[in-house]
Amino acid sequence: MATELQLTKRYGVKDSYTLKVSLETGGYASLPKLFAMTPEQVVEEVKASSLKGRGGAGFPTGMKWSFVPKNTGKPVYLVVNADESEPGTFTDRYLLANDPHLLLEGIICASFAIGCHTSYIYIRGEFKQQFDRLNDAIVEAKKAGYLGKNIQGSGFDLEVYVHRGAGAYICGEETGLLESLEGKKGQPRIKPPFPAVQGLFACPTIVNNVKTIASVPWIISNGAKSYASIGTQESPGTHIFGLSGHVNQTGYWELPFGMPMMDFINNYGKGVKGKLKAVIPGGSSCPILTAKECEDLTLTYESMKAHGTMFGTGCAIIMNEHTDMAEVLKNLTHFYADESCGQCTPCREGTAWEDRLMKKILAGEATAKDLDLMLETADNMEGKTICVFASALAMPVRSFIKKFREDFEKRLIKNTVSVPETVS
């Protein structure tokens, strides 16, 4: 039996983004159940569902919510991360455009759970259509008593505002995002304090991804047990998985966790154009996998981890045999060098170095020493920075060079090849 769609059921329905269609198709149906619970019960329910954050790190959502300190006298904020800028990732965009009311319903659930009365949606600047849709949806919801004071007679008040970014990848990092929301440059903050304790305007703040929040209404309506029975034990529920690159059909599909990667590529992506060479499984920051490694890979957090990579955003980039990994890595070093916020020396210098070295390699002016220098630079970038952006380049650099060394070596000045690392 096919699993019920939780996140994408209104996609393709005419005017799916309007309140009218939302209500006709079960929108906001979780609220009576929600308001019959206590906030603590909602947190427990989400904990019991084992829902993991979809923003990249996969942090358990219920647990994150439980970190909000009680009775500080300060307001609590919920901030929805709709910055979606991780290269290869494109599914929040459609959720925002197709079903803004599902997100609002999720925001109501999450805000009620953590005691928030003002929530901000931080949306990347390029999503102008989605920005307008969200604002329209908020106006509609407010008029109908789903937002504002005393929502549906529950006594619970909530205002939701959309805040538009303006082009900076680093604003997807949650503390960079909070800085940006405060009207500053989006430079990540040193942690601790973590946002749950001291976040937006120095108040307790929960930052969650769009799909994380949109997953909550189903959990409230159907219960944590039903949610946990979908997918695998460590990766419960459904997710919107994406495919880009060298497949016959690119796109996105909502599926339960657990499908083998090759089935996903073959059945949904209609197979690889040519022969499979490599997969970046969840956005450009995830270590790359060889075709062989994908043979027994499944679309779960645990399988990705067991293969030395990360689930990330669940949007995979597929590359065929004709792909030159040196060219692809140059593309990534350029991206990270360009997008580093510049606060930390190892990141600012390291990303620039990696990019310069890749340029040298592509120009055919590099020696084996330069390849070693790239790996050394990657090591020096990690663990010494304010945020994990630097690691997000270090990991690809290491995995590309380790797994596809021949693509780099053939561009080196001859007779300088060092002994290759063993490829497992």
Partner 1 sequence: MAVQFEQKTIDEFEGIAKRYPVRRAALLPALWLAQREFGWISEEAMVCVAKLVGVSPMQVMEVAGFYTMYQKNKPGKYHLQVCQTIACLLAGSEEIKKTIERVLDLKPGQTTPDGQFSYQTVECLASCHTAPCMQVNDDYHENLTPESTEKLIAELRKK
| Contacts of residue 186, Cβ cutoff 8 Å, sequence gap at least 6 | 165, 168, 170, 171, 173, 176, 177, 179, 180, 341
8-state DSSP, 421: P
Residue 169 binding ligand SF4, by CB under 6 A: no
Count of helices and strands (H, E) across the chain: 18, 9
Q: Rounded distance, CA 252 to CA 242, Å? A: 4
Residue 254 binding partner 1, by CB under 8 A: no
String of contacts with partner 1 for each residue 298-317, x by CB under 8 A: -----------------x-x
Structure tokens at 388: 């994990």
Helices 368-381 and 389-403: crossing angle in degrees, nearest 10, is: 150
**Of 122, 83, 81, residue with least CA distance to 339:** 83
Residue 370 binding partner 1, by CB under 8 A: no
Residues in the chain: 424
Q: Looking only at Cα atoms, what is the longest distance across the chain? A: 77
Residue 353 binding ligand SF4, by CB under 6 A: no
Residue 235 binding ligand FMN, by CB under 6 A: no
Which residues 66-85 are close enough to bind ligand FMN by CB under 6 A?
81, 83-85
φ, ψ for residue 417, nearest 5 deg? -70, 125
> Among residues 8 and 351, whose Cβ is nearest to ligand SF4?
351
Residue 101 binding partner 1, by CB under 8 A: no
Peptide bond into 69 cis (omega under 30): no
Instruction: Specify the 3-state DSSP secondary structure of 264.
Output: helix
Residue 352 binding ligand SF4, by CB under 6 A: no
Please choose, out of 88-96, 134-142, 207-215, 295-303, the segment that lies near partner 1 by the rule CB under 8 A: 88-96
Among positions 76, 151, 170, 206, the unique one binding ligand SF4 when judged by CB under 6 A: 170
Which residues 331-350 are close enough to bind ligand SF4 by CB under 6 A?
340-344, 347-348
Peptide bond into 192 cis (omega under 30): yes
| Contacts of residue 227, Cβ cutoff 8 Å, sequence gap at least 6 | 49, 50, 51, 218, 219, 236, 237
Task: Indicate which of ligand SF4, ligand FMN, partner 1, none lies near residue 207 (CB less than 5 to 8 Å, by partner kind).
Answer: ligand FMN
Beta strands in 48-175 (DSSP E): 76-82, 116-123, 159-164
- Confirm if 357 and 334 have CB atoms less than 8 A apart: no
Task: Indicate which of ligand FMN, partner 1, ligand SF4, none lies near residue 180 (CB less than 5 to 8 Å, by partner kind).
Answer: partner 1
Task: Indicate which of ligand SF4, ligand FMN, partner 1, none lies near residue 232 (CB less than 5 to 8 Å, by partner kind).
Answer: none
Query: Closest distance between ligand SF4 and the C-beta of residue 201, in Å?
Result: 20
Helices 100-114 and 39-49: crossing angle in degrees, nearest 10, is: 120
Which residues 170-199 are close enough to bind ligand FMN by CB under 6 A?
170, 172-174
| Contacts of residue 127, Cβ cutoff 8 Å, sequence gap at least 6 | 82, 84, 93, 96
Please choose, out of 126-134, 302-310, 358-366, 381-389, the segment that lies near partner 1 by the rule CB under 8 A: 126-134
String of contacts with ligand FMN for each residue 11-50, x by CB under 6 A: ----------------------------------------
Task: Indicate which of ligand SF4, ligand FMN, partner 1, none lies near residue 344 (CB less than 5 to 8 Å, by partner kind).
Answer: ligand SF4
Query: Closest distance between partner 1 and the C-beta of residue 33, in Å?
Result: 29
**Of 51, 154, 82, 144, residue with least CA distance to 111:** 154
Instruction: Specify the 3-state DSSP secondary structure of 138.
Output: helix
Burial of 55 (0-12, 13-18, 19+ CB in 10 A): buried
| Contacts of residue 226, Cβ cutoff 8 Å, sequence gap at least 6 | none
Task: Indicate which of partner 1, ligand FMN, ligand SF4, none lies near residue 356 (CB less than 5 to 8 Å, by partner kind).
Answer: none
Residue 56 binding ligand FMN, by CB under 6 A: yes
Residue 53 binding ligand FMN, by CB under 6 A: yes
Residue 209 binding partner 1, by CB under 8 A: no
Residue 207 binding ligand FMN, by CB under 6 A: yes
Please choose, out of 4-12, 128-136, 144-152, 167-175, the segment that lies near ligand FMN by the rule CB under 6 A: 167-175
Query: Closest distance between ligand FMN and the C-beta of residue 391, in Å?
Result: 8
Cross-strand pairs, 116: 76
String of contacts with partner 1 for each residue 233-252, x by CB under 8 A: ---------xxxxx---xxx
Structure tokens at 286: 């995830």
Please choose, out of 61-69, 83-91, 289-297, 304-312, the segment that lies near partner 1 by the rule CB under 8 A: 83-91
Binding site for partner 1 (CB under 8 A): 75, 84-90, 92-93, 118, 124-129, 159, 161, 163-169, 180-186, 201, 242-246, 250-252, 280, 284, 315, 317, 319, 323, 327-328, 331-332, 335, 338-339
